[in-house]
Each structure stands twice: as structure tokens, then as C-alpha cells.
Amino acid sequence: MTASLSAQTPAPHLPDARDLEPRLLAALDLAKSLGASAAESNLGVSRGLSVAVRQGEVESVQFQRDRDLSITVFFGQRTGSASTTDLSDAALRRTVEAACAIARVGGEDPAVGLADPARLATHFPDLDLYHPHVVEPDAAIERARECEAAAFAVDARITQSEGASVDTRESLSLYANTHGFVGRRRATDYSLGCAAIAVDGDAMQLGHWYSSSRRFDDLEPAAAIGRRAGERAAARLGAKSLSTRTAPVLFPPEVARGLFGHFIGAISGGALYRRASFLHGKLGETVFAERVTARQRPFLPRAAGSSAYDQEGVATVERTLVDRGVLGGYLLGSYSARKLGLETTGNAGGVFNLVIDSTFDGGLDALAREMGTGLIATDLMGQGVNTVTGDYSRAASGFWVENGVIVHPVEEVTIAGNLAAMYRAIAAIGSDVDTRGGVRCGSVLIEAMTIAGEG
């Protein structure tokens, strides 16, 4: 067993925002006194516990406690940034002076600067993100052991494991700028996961599952998570490849959200102003099948991507990014908006809960019956996605389906296509929505893709 502590076991909870806010404001005041025309500063503190168990033995117990203050200063259209973990007066001065020194020698960029003060958030609803729960190491270890034991109990062929883990995190983030904006965000995150290995002769297959939540008590039961991981591992034994063909591909929710992750990257400001996106210039055009609608929902209670403001303090808003297939908006912060001659959309830092409307009343099994014959792609490997051209090629494993029924597990195939064509070929989106991340969608059925295998 290894144990790692940052100085000592953290206190039960984080300090109050009111105790830290003066440090943030002091940094801004100091920047102004040193000649900066504007400045912004972030202060984040967090504490957490991570426990890992493998083969019933404790592998690690780690306590984390982090604190960091960063400041960005502007001298006209020059900018500089610096950060520190020391919040003393002397360290704060050194950090601000370093940022100012960098800005004075930097080149001018007409796109830099704070967000428009008229766009800054003024309403801060309670998004129910903070649910502190003290998890003792012994209790976390027992929960991880229970999870792993449930995986082993599924099938006698599950003889190995990559372990089970419990992770907890409590965080407080503050953002302030010289427009007078101060934002405070306190949140908790908990997760429990397991990875089981099924062995049959020389064949080995990995199955994993996890649960995550803002509330510790909302995590799936440990035994249920382990059982799901074990079932997934055992189901993959006997996998074989396929001959090369064109066929429908069905993505389970936890995999399907990656398809929309590529969409997020393609409509983000950095890719757009660099003209490194296959969706550049497509605003108002049909880019998905007509049945697809995608919305930003930043105020969902307890959701992974909920926030009242973006990284610049700009108010987040509910938006329809895709309306019946038509691209309705980009994801822009102030810098990328200025580079494009547009206005910020309040998306500095990304999207805030992308929710994809379901089009089909049923989940993966029902969609497999609807598909008839095709591939369920449960795991994707590699980074074969080109957001400039939209070309898509990923190594995959999963299950081959005929007449709506799984025939055998599949491995060592590659699925390929182009995202532009794939998005327009979405035949259905299931109601089995995965709510664990910042993209919420059900299983996605694509009408046809190239499946490259043997021969």
C-alpha cells in the first residue's frame, strides 16, 4: 500500500469564500497600482481523497489538497500571466510583478482584453452542486473492495482485475476582474469505478463501469457497479474480427457522447478562427439529420457542466445549438469572438451541459432490434479524428448483431467515415440518456459506416 498526503490530512471542509476573496481583490488592486489597464484573477482551492484497491489489496490511499492563484494583466493590448500557490503578501506581489513584466515586453494583440462588462453575470442561481460528505479512508477502502468482489462473483473466468477506486473532491473557485465582477463556485464530485478482466485460455477481455455524482449518496451501489464491470468483461470473451463491410453502427450512450464531443470541438472558437474546423462557415446550414436537436442547459441542478458564468464571468444562457439538424450557434469566448468579428456567446471554457434530444422511445437493446443487422461499438481506441476535414477512423470492439440479436463479440476492427456524413446519417437517438458527463445523450444509431476487419 502507498499513501500520499500533501503535508497532512486535509481539514474536513474548505475555507469560506469570504476568507479568500480579499486575496483575489488584493492581486487586482496591486496590478492596477503597477500600471495595468485591466486585470483578472482566479483562485481555486480543493481537497480530495482517492483510494485504489486491486485483487482485494489496497494499492494506494491519497489525500490531495491544492491551492492556486493566477492573475492575467493587460497593458493596453499586451498581456501577461503568472500564478502562485503562496497567498502571502510577498508572494502575491512577486506574482503580480512577474505578470506585469511579461505584459510589458509582449507583443500587441487587438483581440485580448476582458469581457464586455455588459455581458457579465448578475444572477447566480443555486445549482445544487455542493454536497460535502466526509469519506473516511477505511470506509472508502471497504466500498472499493465490495465493488471489486462483486465483479469477481459474476463469472469464474473473471480472475484478474485492474482494480476498483473511490474518488472524492471538494472545490471552491473564485474569479474576479477589474470591471468589478466577482464570481464564486463551490462544488463536490464523487466517483466509484471498477475494471474487471475475464480470462479464457490465452484470451483476456477487460470490462469497466463507473458511477459519478455531486452527492456521495447518489452513487450507484458498489455491488451493482462491480457486477456491471464483470458482466461486460465476461460478455467479450470469444470475440472475433469481421470481414470488411459497410453496415449500421450503434453507439451506446457512454460512447455516443464522444461523437458530440467532436462536434463541440468543431464549433469552438479556437478551431473556428484558425479555420481548423470542418464546420467553419456552416452557421445556419443543415449539419445533422433533421431529427437531431441539441441544446445548452447550463442551469441543470447537480449536473457536471452547470454554471451561471463562463471563465470570463460572462453570463451563461440556455441555447439551441442544433435545431432539427440546423447549426444555430458557435461556442465563443471574448478572444475568439473578436478574432472572428463576432460577440462572445458566454462559452469561454467550453459548453455548459450539452443535452441531445432523444428521438426513439427505448435504449440500446431496443435500438439493436431496430437496427436489425450491424455493429454495437462499445469501445473505441486511438485518436483517428481530424476536426479540420471531419475524417473519422477509430479502432473498435463490441458486438455483432443479426436480426436484432447479438451473435458474437467483436474485436480488431476499425470503423471509418466522415463526421459531416455521420451526423447527417443519424437514424435514431435512444432514451437511455447517460447523465454522468457534460454531454447528455442516449444511444446513437448511424445508418452506415465502413467497418474494416479481416481481408
Give pLDDT tens digits along the chain (455 positions): 444 443 344 556 788 888 899 999 999 999 999 999 999 999 999 999 999 999 999 999 999 999 999 999 999 999 999 999 999 999 999 999 999 999 999 999 999 999 999 999 999 999 999 999 999 999 999 999 999 999 999 999 999 999 999 999 999 999 999 999 999 999 999 999 999 999 999 999 999 999 999 999 999 999 999 999 999 999 999 999 999 999 999 999 999 999 999 999 999 999 999 999 999 999 999 999 999 999 999 999 999 999 999 999 999 999 999 999 999 999 999 999 999 999 999 999 999 999 999 999 999 999 999 999 999 999 999 888 999 999 999 999 999 999 999 999 999 999 999 999 999 999 999 999 999 999 999 999 999 999 999 86
Q: Which residue has the cell 455531486?
A: 214
pLDDT at residue 121 in the model: 98
Distance CA 226, CA 147 (A): 4
Q: What is the secondary structure of 49-65 as a DSSP string?
A: EEEEEETTEEEEEEEEE
Structural domains for the chain? 2-233 (3.30.2290.10), 239-455 (no CATH)
Distance CA 332, CA 311 (A): 11
From the CB of residue 407, how many other CB atoms can be counted at a distance below 10 Å? 11
Q: What is the pTM of this model?
A: 0.94
Q: What is the DSSP letter of 221?
A: P
- The angle at the Cα of 192, spanning 186 to 195, to the nearest 5 degrees, equals 145
2: exposed, middle or buried (Cβ count in 10 Å: 0-12, 13-18, 19+): exposed
156: exposed, middle or buried (Cβ count in 10 Å: 0-12, 13-18, 19+): exposed
- The angle at the Cα of 47, spanning 45 to 50, to the nearest 5 degrees, equals 145
What contacts 221, CB < 8 A, 6 or more positions away? Answer: none
Distance CA 359, CA 237 (A): 33
